[in-house]
Chain A
């Protein structure tokens, strides 16, 4: 294998993984706060559309990404309103959100199916990016690739190094206790849900702004669901998200390249893999939980909080 092809594969893997990292790191914070939002796919697709639309009209990638974040947050705020204030069932609301997002974006996006935009290009740092092998592999990715890694670090720092992060985790583990000692459960959860929406929005925008600069209905094609699986796969640990995303994204890219070298692996197995891996992790978590050695699953995940006092 030559160097160019190797670099191409690495860049391909990064492009396939980044939408998953963004969507999953947002959902991780949401789930750490004890809320299960199954609307990731819906928030992603709205982000993909809005990012595309703003990039088309303004040509400003910064505004495009911002719009995608806002779009994701608006959709997430519907979820937050319904589940946190009206106390609806989180699973049903999340599913509805996905369907709503897919339908809404398809409807609004009709006007944008015939246009092409300027793709957000990768960075090029003079000197550093020109170092053979190391340059392309460390200093020449798309800016959003670096942002995704930074967000993972930021979430880790927030959850485990700040007081607010500790409170958020406490709320996810026992909302009644957290409420009893005076923390505002609903406020923390709404903030977490909005953050999840913003991240899913960028994840979606990465598809339409970086991976392929077109808008297509339903172009997220199930990536939101893989992101949800990824959170479980990472057993709610931020850095494991990166590992899982590279694994899931890498498989799909390597499989395409492998075909060129005439190595064929049945596609059905490959498309099963992310979900299969998630099930395996869930089972192993359950076994560990039974032995009471580790409690990684947020205890209040998916449970409705209703303060009576």
Chain B
């Protein structure tokens, strides 16, 4: 495991941050820092990053010194945290969309430090971006949801209206529709990444409105817990949430950041790091799936088929013909969406009834 020592618990502001340092006695290791949006114990997004960081530590051992800051709010706080990290580190990973502009600003001030921003689209000579093709995962989950729903209502607990979230909703909806033409999607925006109480309220509201399969784009395990209690199905988010929903979790997307972190930190050590835009999916192993449970074999087969098609490149989740929500054509027959279009997607596809958030 990860030999870490709690060097200090600094309460930096009302939205506090906790600094965790690892001990290291050997000379000349790469100093890598990570900024997390939530607590590592969220069992979701941040937990997945933290697992990647532990993988990095295990693989590189004494060649890396890791600093991680948890629960950093996506406001001016983050700029301050990133700045203070930039003074003492060689490479800094900022792991939430909202850190995009602060990271860009700090990167401009510290040209010798390497920066890596997850899920964003702004780059510089010393600022890379990396992103997983979660929409590939949602594509598989969407097929399962479409086949498993009995009420034909799929519920979605959405965090913030940003392209990543919109893209996932569209991908899952198209996949669900492809196996079940009657399927309907109810979307509730909670405008938070992490608030277990509110996530639970949203799950309860969706169930009351008929949803019997839940997706979430928030980071806690609250929705899975509620699904288990109410006896409906749900998907794990970012990590395997089986503990919380032994009878509810169908499968889930597991974010696998570890190999990427090793690759980038090693590149800093070797002096080969260059600014890049990395986008990897199921094929490259950045998006993995929790074991398929609580579903009949036929559904498992459909899901496995969908995964194989992604691995071989035989299928793309956004393959035309697809119209936008207002009925205007987007992709022609057989056409697939470009990376640029996917990264800036701010519209629902045809068939989703909900009003697009303003």
Instruction: Give the interface of A toward B (CB within 8 A).
Output: 4-5, 8-9, 12, 15-16, 95, 98-100, 102-103, 106-107, 109-110, 113-116, 119, 207, 211-214, 216-219, 221, 223, 252-253, 256-257, 259-260, 262, 264, 266-268, 271
Kindly provide the distance from the CB of B268 to the nearest chain A CB, expressed in whole angstroms: 30
B189 interface residue per 8 A CB criterion: yes
Residues from chain A with a CB closer than 8 A to the CB of B39 are 106, 216-218
Residues from chain A with a CB closer than 8 A to the CB of B209 are 5, 257, 260
Residues from chain A with a CB closer than 8 A to the CB of B265 are none
Residues from chain A with a CB closer than 8 A to the CB of B192 are 221
Residues from chain B with a CB closer than 8 A to the CB of A95 are 14
Known: A99-B14, A114-B43, A116-B244. Contact between A216 and B208, CB under 8 A? Answer: no
Taking CB atoms and an 8 Å cut-off, the chain B residues in 158-203 that contact chain A are 186-192, 194-202
Given contacts A212-B225, A216-B222, A219-B220, 15 further A-B contacts (CB under 8 A): A5-B209, A16-B197, A211-B197, A214-B221, A214-B222, A216-B41, A216-B221, A221-B192, A223-B197, A256-B201, A256-B202, A260-B186, A260-B209, A262-B353, A264-B357
B272 interface residue per 8 A CB criterion: no
**Closest residue on chain A to residue B9 by CB atoms:** A103
Known: A116-B244, A260-B209. Contact between A216 and B220, CB under 8 A? Answer: yes
Contact B206 A260 (CB under 8 A): yes
**Closest residue on chain A to residue B188 by CB atoms:** A259
Kindly provide the distance from the CB of A247 to the nearest chain B CB, expressed in whole angstroms: 16
**Closest residue on chain A to residue B160 by CB atoms:** A267
A103 to B15 Cα, complex, angstroms = 11
Contact A267 B189 (CB under 8 A): yes
Of the residues B187, B201, B222, contact of A253 by C-beta under 8 Å: B201
Known: A103-B16, A214-B221. Contact between A15 and B43, CB under 8 A? Answer: no
Kindly provide the distance from the CB of A255 to the nearest chain B CB, expressed in whole angstroms: 9
A114 to B41 Cα, complex, angstroms = 8
A260 to B201 Cα, complex, angstroms = 13
B338 interface residue per 8 A CB criterion: no
A217 to B17 Cα, complex, angstroms = 12
Taking CB atoms and an 8 Å cut-off, the chain B residues in 191-235 that contact chain A are 191-192, 194-202, 204-206, 208-209, 220-222, 225-226, 228-229
B336 interface residue per 8 A CB criterion: no
Of the residues B14, B43, B205, B229, contact of A119 by C-beta under 8 Å: B229
Q: Which 4 A-B pairs have the closest CB atoms?
A: A113-B41, A212-B200, A8-B208, A217-B39
Residues from chain A with a CB closer than 8 A to the CB of B226 are 212
Contact A257 B189 (CB under 8 A): no
Contact A211 B200 (CB under 8 A): yes
Taking CB atoms and an 8 Å cut-off, the chain B residues in 39-65 that contact chain A are 39, 41-43
Contact A103 B201 (CB under 8 A): no
Instruction: Give the interface of B toward A (CB within 8 A).
Output: 9, 11, 14, 16, 18, 38-39, 41-43, 71, 186-192, 194-202, 204-206, 208-209, 220-222, 225-226, 228-229, 243-244, 353-355, 357-358
Residues from chain B with a CB closer than 8 A to the CB of A252 are 198, 201
Residues from chain A with a CB closer than 8 A to the CB of B220 are 214, 216, 219
Residues from chain A with a CB closer than 8 A to the CB of B221 are 214, 216
Kindly provide the distance from the CB of B41 to the nearest chain A CB, expressed in whole angstroms: 4
Known: A256-B202, A257-B209. Contact between A219 and B197, CB under 8 A? Answer: yes
**Closest residue on chain A to residue B6 by CB atoms:** A107
Contact B14 A259 (CB under 8 A): no
Known: A9-B208, A114-B243, A116-B243. Contact between A221 and B18, CB under 8 A? Answer: no
Residues from chain B with a CB closer than 8 A to the CB of A102 are 11, 16
Residues from chain B with a CB closer than 8 A to the CB of A8 are 204-205, 208
Contact B41 A109 (CB under 8 A): yes
Known: A221-B198, A262-B355. Contact between A107 and B9, CB under 8 A? Answer: yes
Residues from chain A with a CB closer than 8 A to the CB of B71 are 217-218
Kindly provide the distance from the CB of B147 to the nearest chain A CB, expressed in whole angstroms: 23
Q: List 15 A-B contacts (CB under 8 A).
A: A4-B208, A5-B208, A99-B16, A102-B11, A113-B43, A114-B43, A114-B243, A211-B197, A211-B201, A212-B226, A213-B229, A216-B41, A216-B220, A257-B205, A271-B191
Contact A106 B18 (CB under 8 A): yes
Residues from chain A with a CB closer than 8 A to the CB of B353 are 262
Residues from chain B with a CB closer than 8 A to the CB of A113 are 41-43
Contact A256 B205 (CB under 8 A): yes
Residues from chain B with a CB closer than 8 A to the CB of A217 are 38-39, 41-42, 71
**Closest residue on chain B to residue A208 by CB atoms:** B196
Residues from chain A with a CB closer than 8 A to the CB of B200 are 211-212
A115 to B243 Cα, complex, angstroms = 7
The interface centre, meaning the residue of B42, B197, B358 with most chain A CB atoms within 10 A of its CB, is B197
Kindly provide the distance from the CB of B47 to the nearest chain A CB, expressed in whole angstroms: 9
Contact B204 A103 (CB under 8 A): no
